[in-house]
């Protein structure tokens, strides 16, 4: 897992502002940039992901997919092209799905996730954001 800091001078202003907004929300938020790199998740997301964002930092797509293992109830890992955040990023449309994730604390949790594409001025693709919550276990 790669760790680094959120370098504001290297990020579009919209992502900087979204990170600021997410830090005030009481709902788990997960943000990826235009390349699918995890650039931030807020404090309410930390219990579901099993680790503080400050401990993992920015992660490449393959790293966060491997770490949190989005999958189904039978523990089958979802192909990347079915992960809500990556669908929203690739297809530039909202996506909702129920799935399971593994926190870095070793706990597998059912979640509902709604992902939205982030588009800047002039149609520039900035990334995607997901809001998610723990679902009751079936």
Task: Name the pTM for this structure.
Answer: 0.90
48 sits in which H/E element: helix 46-49
Q: Write the CB contacts of 22 (distance below 8 Å, at least 6 apart in sequence).
A: 29, 31, 40, 41, 42, 129
Give the domain range for residue 84. 8-134
Residue 119 included in any domain: yes
Residue 31 included in any domain: yes
Counting DSSP H helices and E strands in the chain, the numbers are: 5, 5
Residue 86 included in any domain: yes
CATH number assigned to the domain comprising residue 58: 3.30.450.20
Q: Give bridge partners of residue 112 from the DSSP assignment.
A: 98, 133
How many Å apart are CA 24 and CA 131, to the nearest integer? 13
How many Å apart are CA 5 and CA 136, to the nearest integer? 34
pLDDT at 138: 62
Kindly write down the DSSP assignment for every residue of 78-95, as one continuous string.
PPGGGSHHHHHHHH-S-E
Tokens 């680094």 correspond to what residue?
4
pLDDT at 82: 96
Q: Give the side-chain half-sphere CA count within 13 A for 20.
A: 8
Residue 28 included in any domain: yes
> What string of pLDDT tens digits covers the 138 residues of the chain?
444 454 555 889 999 999 999 999 999 999 999 999 999 999 999 999 999 999 999 999 999 999 999 999 999 999 999 999 999 999 999 999 999 999 999 999 999 999 999 999 999 999 999 999 999 876
Number of independent structural domains in the chain: 1
How many Å apart are CA 41 and CA 31, to the nearest integer? 6
Residue 3 included in any domain: no
């Amino acid at each position: 897992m790669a760790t680094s800091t959120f370098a504001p001078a290297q990020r579009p202003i919209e992502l900087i502002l979204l990170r600021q907004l997410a830090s005030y929300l009481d709902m788990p938020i997960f943000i990826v940039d235009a390349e699918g790199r995890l650039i931030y998740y807020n404090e309410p997301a930390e219990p579901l992901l099993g680790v503080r964002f400050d401990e993992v930092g920015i992660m490449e797509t393959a790293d966060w997919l491997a770490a949190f293992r989005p999958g189904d109830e039978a523990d089958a890992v979802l192909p990347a092209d079915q992960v809500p955040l990556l669908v929203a990023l690739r297809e530039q449309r909202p996506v909702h799905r129920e799935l399971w994730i593994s926190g870095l604390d070793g706990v597998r949790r059912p979640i509902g996730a709604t992902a939205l594409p982030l588009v800047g001025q002039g149609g520039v693709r900035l990334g995607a954001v997901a809001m998610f919550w723990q679902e009751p276990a079936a």
